[in-house]
Structure 1
Amino acid sequence: MNSSLSRFGVPETLTDLPADIRDTILAVQEKAGFVPNVFLMLAHRPDEFRAFFAYHDALMEREADTLTKAEKEMIVVATSARNRCLYCVVAHGALVRIYSKDPLLADQVAINHRTTPISERHRVMLDFALHCGLDVGELTDDWEARLAAVGFTRDDIWDIGAITAFFGLSNRLVTLTGTPPNPEFYMLGRVPRDKR
């Protein structure tokens, strides 16, 4: 077992995995060019792998959505930074850079979204995400009014809270297992493709 990817070990080879999980990992490898370490770490428990990625995809890949992919990933980066989860800050920071086409945004959001040059909509979104992730997370009338004032619907509010909660789970699992971010994530989206 490769103990450098998880204190609990990862499969020796992809052929050791159930076919559906192997196919999922191979599809991600085809798209990304590498296998994100979190996939191998979670493959340690096949039923939990399936449940984790089913919920991940329901939240993050849903087609009919008003939150953009960049906004969702900003939520992940801001809350993961407060949870001190290097894996999620690095991996999802890469996605913020790619989706926003801004090579500086992810690092700024990770350090302090309140001093980052973002819209009031995004500032309120991230304030609420941190409220959900670090405080009790209650949706009060005041919070709902603040979020509605910058254009968020009740479905959006649910999504902000659910993404925060889901990645709180992810942050804790990655920290528990000691899973490091793949080196490939660090440079993704920092330099435009035509400048490499």
Structure 2
Amino acid sequence: MPAADRYQQIVVAAMREFARTGYSGTTTAHIASTIGVSQPYVMRLVRTKRDLFLAAFDHACQTMEDLLRDAVGDLGAAASAEARLDALRAAGYHGVLADRDLMGMMLHAFAAAGADEQVRDVVRVRYERLFATVAEVTGGSPAQVRDLMAVGLLWQVIAVLGAAGPSAEREWATPIPW
């Protein structure tokens, strides 16, 4: 397998493992073993565990950005901001919440940002880009974008808890504020 393809495979595996056991609880040796390569090989492709964590976080953010863009892709140029926000809400519920690894990666990145300044800087910039993407694809007001992102964080938490989303409903989580 070409190194670029193997690198992508490692990043996807890393996202899954970091989502489940966090930055501190995940080793590069474990990530390597999940895809059948050696830990030194992983380290040749990524310099440090932090670099791999940030690559996995970037992959998660890119996945979310792609979902956001796809959600409004079929709407015509004349679609209102509210129609675009509704499309994001529906896509979030049916796509993002179903992916607990994606949600877990996001939450673990926020947690790691509290303890590591380099991680914090990258997470801050990347999260700002998610805000900008929501504003761009919806044309929503700053308040509408903020509200969507705030409820999105709530969705992330309840998705990781298995309390809401297409495959798991809990009565206390059903009145999602949309």
* Structure with more helix by fraction: 2
Highest relative contact order (Cα 8 Å, sep 6+), 1 or 2? 1
TM-score computed with the length of structure 2 as normaliser: 0.31
TM-score computed with the length of structure 1 as normaliser: 0.29
